[in-house]
Amino acid sequence: MFLLKSDDEFILNTISHLFGQSKFLYTLDESTKYFFTIKIKRFEKELQIKGLQKALYLKLPLSFNILAMALSKSFHDYSVDVASAKFYPFRQALYYKDKQINLGNIHFIIFSQLTLNYPDTIEKIDLYKNIWPKDKDFQMNKLDTHLTNLKNYLDEKINFKLNFSSNSGQIKLIIN
């Protein structure tokens, strides 16, 4: 999850619309938790994409594929330390003791939200809505099943022990 910013409302809306149709998880809301910020600025003949101490300059006009590839290349190596593992949000990957695992969409959202909210808690209902925004009938046992599946998957594939506590409708990542 990253924050997308621009002073140019048209550029922001256009790129936001394109990202909404792709696999990019982003927000326009600064009050939402996110891993990093991408600032986009339009010049006469180029687009500047700035984030994580890097700036890219892409010649205009450009296709969405070129923009997506440039973003992927620029933020591919951004990582967050989670216990003794490295989490690469842009790759949807977790590395632990020379082993790597790619997370599916639901597992990625769960892991991302737990990481973004650490050391605080996240409301389970909010986590549920992040995963299944169109659901009208909330089935918390469905979320609990996916939490257990993620925990077992990480342990089985890379021997990473994911610990969290759940109490009074809130969930919290525990890092020893």
**Helix or strand (DSSP H, E) at 96:** strand 93-96
For residue range 5-35, what is the model confidence (pLDDT) as tens digits? 999 999 899 888 888 777 778 889 999 999 9
User: Which pLDDT belongs to residue 105?
Assistant: 92
Domains and CATH numbers, the chain: 2-75 (no CATH), 80-174 (1.10.10.10)
pLDDT of 174 reads 94
Rounded distance, CA 52 to CA 144, Å? Answer: 34
- In single-letter form, the type of residue at position 73 comes to K
